[in-house]
Amino acid sequence: MSDIKVKDLADTIRVSPEKLVEQLNEAGISVSKADELITEEQKQTLLQFLQQRHGVADGKDASPRKITLKRKSVSEIKLGGGSSRSGGKSVSVEVRKKRTYVKRTPDEAAATELLNQQQAQQHAEELAKQEQLRQQEVARKQQEEVDRQKEAEAESAAVAAAIEAEKQASEEARLAAEEEQKALAEEAKSQTAKKANTEKTEPKLSASQLAHKKLEEADAKRRAANLARVEAEKALEAKRKAREEEEALEKAREEARQATVDAQAKEQKTDRKDTDTRHGKDKPARKGRHDRDDDFERKELHVREGKAGRRKKKKAAAPQKTPVLETEHGFSKPTAPVVKEVSVPETISVGDLAQRLSVKSGELIKSLMGLGTMATINQVLDQDTAVIVVEEMGHIAKPVQENQVELALEVSEEQVGEAVVRAPVVTVMGHVDHGKTSLLDYIRRTKVTSGEAGGITQHIGAYKVETSRGEVAFLDTPGHAAFTEMRSRGAKVTDIVVLVVAADDGVMPQTIEAIQHAKAAQSTLIVAINKMDKPEANPDRVKQELSNHEVIPEDWGGDVQFVPVSALTGEGVDDLLEAISLQAEVMELKAPVKGPAIGTVVEARLDKGRGTVITALVQRGTLNKGDIVVVGQEFGRVRALFNESGQQLDTAGPSTPVEILGLSGTPAAGDELQVAPDDRTAREIATFRQTKAREAKIARQQAAKLDEMFNKMEEGDVKTLNLVIKGDVHGSVEAVSQGLQKLSTEQVKVRVVGSGVGGINETDAQLAAASEAILIGFNVRADNAARKVISEKGLDVQYFSIIYDLLDVVTKAMTGMLEPVYKDEIIGLARVDDVFRSPKFGDIAGCLVLEGVVKRSNPIRVLRDNVVIFEGELESLRRFKDDVNEVNAGTECGIGVRNYKDVKPGDQIEVFERVLMKPTL
């Protein structure tokens, strides 16, 4: 039935029933209560209505076109009036912001792009017009300057002429004054010349009068020249002041025009930046305390010269014109949401991603918490998480692969020659002590097991054997359960898996694991039933048990070859080699010999005299002495090549296991070996891989911190055994670490605080001392400096060569860390028949011992209706009037319970003792 109640649908989609009823009514579905039923068609109608409301049409993108962001910030303001000690009163101020962003369609984006291009073209035309006007203005100013200079020269010439005229007038006045003085002197000398002129003629002026008249005329001329000079200087000063005022006004106009041009340029720059952002040309945002939540360009606030410069120009004689105030602010808020195209690498920190999104780190962390991810600003996010959070914040994520540097290792088709037949790679697997290494030993006529501790192979061995049917590359893997990872690596590089099963032992746990690894690697399986020389050998039992794991023999109608062999006598070994050769011919194994070599690291170790030594299996191409190789996170030049017999080689072709010297460090078993074109490329690739591995490790550690914290809270007081493990080869160290960590229980956890390849050095000892760990050396020993630290710190050091002993010792150490366990064992039970009053001992219970024995020194429990009501110890134990230490079954006695006075007839007194039990994991 498709009908459903409104409240049930509200619970399913996690909204309130009232809101769902409101949405149904808005969609045209008449619903009044939450208990009403709605049909499937009505649900579809509601879905279409909600999609249309959010801007989603049929067949289009289902992502919302609108998103509303709400932000709330609370601050506190302290008011005056309070004492300094109390801090005064405080008022909480809450600011709420709400912004809605609309996602544009591709048509709208194209229209916006066209509009931006038109605006850019208009802006270019305006700039060209402004440049033309500016050039015209410059020419006009130059012409005005020339005219001004000519006018100033004319004014200066007029002033100079007035000054010269004044000088001439002064000189004439001086000469006139001298003539007047001479005339007066001459008149004083002529005392006798007083003749009366009787003739009636007009009187004539005397010489002194003429001189005085000339003097007056000269003074008048001098005053006129002086006045002309003063007028000329005043006119010149007035023009100079007028020119200064004009220059000030022009400067103010120029500043206003330049401010307008700058504002238009900044606005155009903002538009161009938004356009570039839409096209993915974004730049990382600036760091700092002024980062904004929105995608705005940073503006600078300047103080106009008209305001700040008034203080400096206050002393000017002429008043300056008030500059025009600009009403347009330099900060312009975008009218539409800015959608960025963010390049997301494989790993990126939260801080870097926030810069690329131009948001605060806190906003990004809040979004991550909303998605269920606890993160810090320095935490490294993987690519998938970063893409999700970028899309969640309304931007476009573009995943970027950062392994471009590794493309230099790719081999072109011209470098690869024609594929030729190669030797098969055979991996020998099976349970421990089923004869894998003994079988290989017989094939290659060497005693490999003689060099192994306890006759057990502790790490992978690679050998190339020359048989009558051609060459075969063998990989021998350990059979112990702790080396599951090592066997897994062996299965990944192999063509044929030879599963060795002891005829007298049958299928064991590691045999089943080997079958699983072979199937996972899709390798052909051949079963070698070993130890056929023993009387108790039963091959039919082996076939029956393997058939339960989908390994069907050929004679039973299956596709798996079963070959009975004996590694001790050599029986069936030729048949096994023939089966391998036949299977290889059927598989048509080929690999190119020409071109750079590609291989896989089988094992890696640190040799004291030769440095890093790796065992690698070349899978294609030819590895030459002197090649520059990249192996995982390490690189180096091949200084020497050795085969399994220790003989030096110059080249190694496909399906050839070799030992390589010359790497910069110890790679992990299973890493890929590739030949690089030059040393610089190899170094760059190795550095890139190390950086990526370090970032991934940090990401895992930070992601596990919160889980580890919660685990510690749940576990409570869980004991932890810290270990520092050093081994001879990388595979052994990894396998031992995993085997020890699997020993962890709910009571005791095993924690490997440090591990590595090589002997125990001083750093390892210091680490063990700081973490209170046990030092474990697997086929390695401590050097002199480490032994000194071990002696001073009193550290516990354990050396092992066989993993069985290592696991047993660690298990005992974990058992010793457990708290002692006590068990209550009931030894006697007595029934209370009556209670007597004693003035000395109080209430005495008259009891009959039903079973066991009642001892005075043991603790007791008082039971009433088979329920424990008191637990304590005896005050007294009497048989008649005598104090006794114990009373056996079937005997009456008097019992006084210490600090308990509520014993009643019918109660039972249970006597027990605490037995210390040996703690177990």
Residue 660 contacts residue 614 (beta carbons within 8 Å): yes
Helix segments in 668-761, DSSP class H: 679-715, 730-741
Q: What are phi and psi of 324, to 5 degrees?
A: -75, 130
80: exposed, middle or buried (Cβ count in 10 Å: 0-12, 13-18, 19+) = exposed
111 Cβ neighbours under 8 A, 6+ residues apart: none
Helices (H) and strands (E) in the chain, counts: 19, 37
For the stretch 687-719, what's the b/e string if a residue is b when 16 or more beta carbons lie within 10 angstroms of its beta carbon? ebbeebeebeeebeebbeeeeeeeeeeeeeeee
- Between vectors from CA 185 to CA 183 and to CA 191, what angle results, nearest 5°? 110
- Between vectors from CA 593 to CA 589 and to CA 597, what angle results, nearest 5°? 105
Which of 676, 664, 712, 744 minimizes the C-alpha distance to 410?
A: 676
Q: How far apart are CA 499 and CA 490, in angstroms?
A: 13
Which of 726, 748, 752, 720 minimizes the C-alpha distance to 738?
A: 752
Strands (E), 608-671: 611-620, 623-624, 628-631, 634-642, 648-649, 651-652, 656-663
Q: How far apart are CA 757 and CA 667, in angstroms?
A: 10
Q: How far apart are CA 517 and CA 738, in angstroms?
A: 17
**Token pair of 897, please?**
């319970």
**Token pair of 680, please?**
């610089």
| Residues counted in the chain | 921
Q: How far apart are CA 818 and CA 747, in angstroms?
A: 7
Strands (E), 790-906: 797-800, 821-838, 842-855, 859-864, 867-879, 882-883, 886-888, 892-897
Q: How far apart are CA 464 and CA 443, in angstroms?
A: 11
DSSP secondary structure, 109-128, as one string: HHHHHHHHHHHHHHHHHHHH
Q: How far apart are CA 346 and CA 577, in angstroms?
A: 47
Which of 725, 599, 608 minimizes the C-alpha distance to 667?
A: 599
Edge-to-edge, what's the strand order for the sheet holding 774-778? 748-757, 719-727, 774-778, 797-800
CA 242, distance to chain mean position in Å, is: 69
Q: Which residues participate in the annotated binding site for GTP?
A: 430-437, 476-480, 530-533
Q: How far apart are CA 464 and CA 643, in angstroms?
A: 8
- Between vectors from CA 864 to CA 858 and to CA 866, what angle results, nearest 5°? 85
